[in-house]
Amino acid sequence: MKITILCENQTGYKGSKVCLSEWGLSLFIEINGLNLLFDTGHTDVYKRNAERLGIILDKVDFVILSHHHWDHADGLQAHNFKSKKKLIIHPEILTKLLAKESEKIKNDFKIVASVNPLEFFHNAYYLGEIPRQNTFENGAVENDLMRDDSAIVIKTKNGAVVITGCSHSGICNICEYAKKVTGKKIYAVIGGFHLFEDNQEAIAETIEYFKTEKPKFLYPMHCVDFPTLAKFHEVFGIKKMSTGDVIELED
C-alpha cells in the first residue's frame, strides 16, 4: 500500500522543490492495482502536485470525500477527469455544499451515497456514519452534528489501516468502528485527527486510547496543531508527514 500526500498544510522535504501546499488534505492511495483519491483540499493544488509528482489522476478508480468542509471537498470543483468516476460520499454532503457545487458533482460523477459501511472494493471499506461512543469527542461543529464526517479502512493481513479526513466524528470513534467493520485490530491510522491544545481532555484521552490499541503506525496531520503533534511525538515517536511525502505499508 502506497499513500502519496497530494496536499497537506505544510510541504515536506521530499516535495519541497515541486509541491505547493494549502490548508487542507488530499491523498492518493494505491493498493494492489486499486487507485483512490481521498479528499481534494481547497483548490486545484492537489491536481497540480499530482502532475508534478508523476501521478496520473485519471487512473483513479474511486474518489472519496470524508466530509463536506471546504478544505477537503472544494478541490473537486477543479477536477479534469475525462470520464465519470465513482464518488463515494455520505448523502448529507450533497445538501451541505453550495447548490452549484452539488449540481456539478452530480453531473460529473457516478454518486455512491451511503450512511452504512460499504465494501467498495475487496477489503476496502467506506465507513459511512460513525457511531459516537465516547464523551470526550464532541463531533459537532457550530451546531452541525457532522453526520457526514466519515473515513475509509483497508483490511490487511497486519490489521486495519484507517484513513481519515478531519475526524470531526472523533478519531477514537472512527477507529472503534473500523475495528467492528473489519474484525481487525488497528494497524495504522493516517490523516486528520482534529486535536487542538484548547481541548486537553480529548488529547489526553486519545493518547491513552492509542497507548491501549498500540497501532504500529500513527500519522496525525492536517488538523492537529503543533503542541499536540509534539505530545504525540513525545509519547509515540511519530513522524509528521506533509505534502509530497509518501507512506508505504504492507498489505
3-state SS class at 140: coil
The whole-number pLDDT of residue 173 equals 98
Task: Give the pLDDT band of residue 100 (cuts 50, 70, 90).
Answer: very high
Backbone angles phi, psi at 11, to 5 degrees: -95, 130
pLDDT exceeds cutoff 90 at 143: no
Q: Cell for 155?
A: 483490511
CATH 3.40.50.300 correct for 2-248: no
Give the full edge-to-edge strand order of the sheet including 246-248.
110-113, 86-89, 62-64, 34-38, 26-31, 2-7, 246-248
CA of 159: how far to CAs of 153, 163, 179, 181, 184, in Å? 10, 13, 9, 12, 5
The whole-number pLDDT of residue 83 equals 95
| Residue 11 DSSP code | B
Picking from 24-38, 91-105, 134-148, 160-174, which range would have the lowest pLDDT averaged per residue? Answer: 134-148
Beta strands per DSSP E along 76-235 = 86-89, 110-113, 118-121, 124-126, 151-156, 159-164, 186-192, 217-221
The whole-number pLDDT of residue 140 equals 83
Are the C-beta atoms of 21 and 7 separated by less than 8 Å?
A: yes
Backbone angles phi, psi at 182, to 5 degrees: -95, -20
The whole-number pLDDT of residue 99 equals 97
pTM attached to this predicted model: 0.97
Task: Give the pLDDT band of residue 55 (cuts 50, 70, 90).
Answer: very high
Beta strands per DSSP E along 80-173 = 86-89, 110-113, 118-121, 124-126, 151-156, 159-164
The whole-number pLDDT of residue 142 equals 85
pLDDT exceeds cutoff 80 at 251: no
**At 171, which helix (H) or strand (E)?**
helix 171-182
Mean pLDDT of the chain: 97
Task: Outline where 183-220 has alpha helix (H).
Answer: 200-213
Question: Is the sign of the CA dihedral 212, 214, 215, 219 positive or negative?
Answer: positive
The whole-number pLDDT of residue 138 equals 76
pLDDT exceeds cutoff 90 at 130: yes
Amino acid identity of residue 55, one-letter, is I
Q: Which tops the pLDDT comparison, 191 or 32?
A: 191
Cβ neighbours of 57 (radius 10 Å)? 19
Give the residue-averaged pLDDT of 95-118. 97
